Amino acid sequence: MTDDGTACGTFLAGMYQLRRAAIEEQLRSAKVEESDQICCTDGTGCFTNAKGTPWECYPFLPDCMDKIQPEFFLYTPEKTNNQTINYNNLNASVQAITMSNKRPFFVEIHGYGESWPKQYLFDMKDGLIALGNNVLIVRWTTGSKGPDYFKASANTQTVGAAIALVMNSLIEQNKVDLSLSTVVGFSLGAHVAGYIGDRLPGLRRIIGLDPAGPMFACQPIQTRLDPTDALFVQAIHTNGDNFFYGGAGTLEQMGDIDFYANGGQIQAGCDRGVPQAVHDILHLNFSSMGDDLSCSHDRAHDLFIETVNEAANPSTSCNYMSFPCDSSADWTAGKCFQCGSNGCPTFGYTTDIGTPYSGKFYFNTQSDNTLSGEYCGSQYLVSLTSDVDAKGNITVTLFGPDGHSNPEAFQTSEDTLTANTPQPRVMVTPWNTKSVDQIQLVYNRYTSLIHKDGVTHWTLTASSISDTNGKIVSSLANLPVDDNITLSILYQ
């Protein structure tokens, strides 16, 4: 997906076929809507999907609040239990709330699916409260439930309008300061945040956690999250893989600054899960996706929560240092391990208005959080050079005085280490591993009944490790590499 035009063309063609199938199914069920406009009497306004408008991408009109029935749960550092806001009795409900408008205010919005409670919202809330923020959790599961993803996508419009009304009431009654307000939305919730920002000029910040791709990528900015929706918009991409392989997100830039974790397509330690993905995608049934299919998508909120928890002690905590890069392909190939003249930004909670950075930035994470309790870690650029073409899986483990990394794939079984060509990859150790002085490498050659097998033996003619400060250690020793044999490389 390095060519944005080609990617959008392919994506829109696939979405067109699915949209057409959905409409045909509605016709067969005699449930097709006769109008191209709906006006809600709940204060959210009128909505259209008429041809020629930006919203024609939606095959169906959204539901109003009498059907969606959103719930609003407010948490403050001063209150042990939550306070609720009644949308049907909004102003009186807000008037009864006790909170300080001097504190930063966060709104959390979930994505597709009807399960409740969604634990990540409450984990995020706990971290934000610990930092002295007020937090509003929005539940709209009746509007986001499956199996009709198209309807849930359309509902982002009315839900965004309803939340904007709630926030406006809080602002008018001096409960909230808009200039201190941040909206955090996951998946579909990221686009809900965009609709909120459209109705609240002056909103400080939006943080989009893997904004949903299906129905939103490659569409007009009026229909999705974009940089004009707040004074500062930050997005992270974790599941922008091909739509038909289960990619629930997108690689399309949607913020002032966009972060791409592990290239933004598939997360380290997550599987692609192709057969089940195809079944679920064709039925637009993302809520039934198993752990393998939601793994990369869900990683977005896990990473953000880490940045919230680390914000209390930033000088002694891990941070997601990120590097400017043009594409996921260039990042994966190890071509972008340098900071610009302004240094490198970090993803997450502390990145706010006033940052000197904009554009696309990349970082890698650990494949799981068992070694150090977090995915965040120290990033290193590891380069290997072979004397011959070596096709097969190469697994590398980094060791230092303070610990070691998980065994990570340097290349997969389908990849080839090209002869006499240094090939770099960004690899990650736990945060407390401050230096690396040893590598363990295991090569498993490619085998096939049809294609040529990988070589059984090759020579590692050079290798090096660079840290984020530019320090490089290298080895020019010719070291033998044999199939399925562990090789240890020491650096002085």
Kindly give, in sequence order, each residue whose CB lies less than 8 Å from that of residue 453, ignoring residues fewer than 6 positions away: 391, 445, 446, 447
- Report d(CA 41, CA 82) in Å as an integer: 28
DSSP 45: E
Together in a domain, 346 and 386: no
Structural domain total, the chain: 2
Clarify whether 297 is annotated catalytic: yes
Claim to verify: residue 478 and residue 342 sit in the same structural domain? no
Q: Are residues 333 and 424 in the same domain?
A: no
| pLDDT of res. 79 | 87
Query: In the chain, which stretches have pLDDT less than 50?
Result: 1-3, 5-6, 9, 12-13, 16, 20, 23-24, 27-32, 275-277, 279, 281-292
Q: Which of 210, 226, 280, 302 is catalytic?
A: 210
- Indicate whether 368 belongs to any domain: no
pLDDT at position 28 is 45
The SS3 of residue 492 is: coil
Per DSSP, the residues of 386-454 read ESS-EEEEEEEEEEETTEEPPPEEEE-TT-EE-BT--EEEEEEEETT-----EEEEEEEE---SSSPPP
pLDDT of residue 301: 98
Within a domain: 371: no
Same domain, 403 and 347: no
- Domain membership flag for residue 372: no
In a domain, 241, yes or no: yes
One domain for residues 273 and 335: yes
Q: Is residue 367 part of a domain?
A: no
Based on the fold, state whether residues 385 and 276 are members of the same structural domain.
no
Give me the CATH number covering residue 118: 3.40.50.1820
- The CATH number of whichever domain residue 469 belongs to comes to 2.60.60.20
Per annotation, catalytic residue among 110, 237, 297, 301 = 297
Q: What is the pTM of this model?
A: 0.91
Residue 161: per-residue pLDDT? 98
Q: Are 353 and 415 in a shared domain?
A: no
Q: State whether 207 and 134 are in the same domain.
A: yes
Alpha-carbon dihedral 429, 435, 437, 441, rounded to 10 degrees: 10
- Contact indicator for 460, 478 with CB cutoff of 8 Å: yes
Out of 144, 153, 181, 187, pick the active-site residue: 187
Please report whether residue 370 resides in a domain.
Answer: no
Share the mean pLDDT of the chain: 89
Residues 407 and 321 in one domain: no
Could you tell me if 285 and 382 lie in one domain?
no
Structure confidence at residue 293 (pLDDT): 54
Say if residue 101 is in the same domain as residue 232. yes
Does residue 198 have an active-site annotation? Answer: no
Looking at 300, 334, 360, which one is the last position of a domain?
Answer: 360
pLDDT of 49-97, one tens digit each?
999 999 998 899 999 999 999 999 999 999 878 999 999 999 999 999 9
187 is catalytic: yes
Q: What is the pLDDT of residue 138?
A: 98
Q: How far apart are CA 308 and CA 69, in angstroms?
A: 30
Same domain for 115 and 13, yes or no, is yes
Cα–Cα distances (Å) from 413 to 178, 262, 296, 445, 454, in that order, read 52, 19, 21, 7, 9
| Residue-number span of the structural domain to which 333 is assigned | 4-360
DSSP letter for each residue of 279-344: HHHHTT-GGG--HHHHHHHHHHHHHHHHHHHHTTSGGGS---B-EE-S-HHHHHTT-----BTTB-
> Last residue of some domain: 331, 360, 389?
360
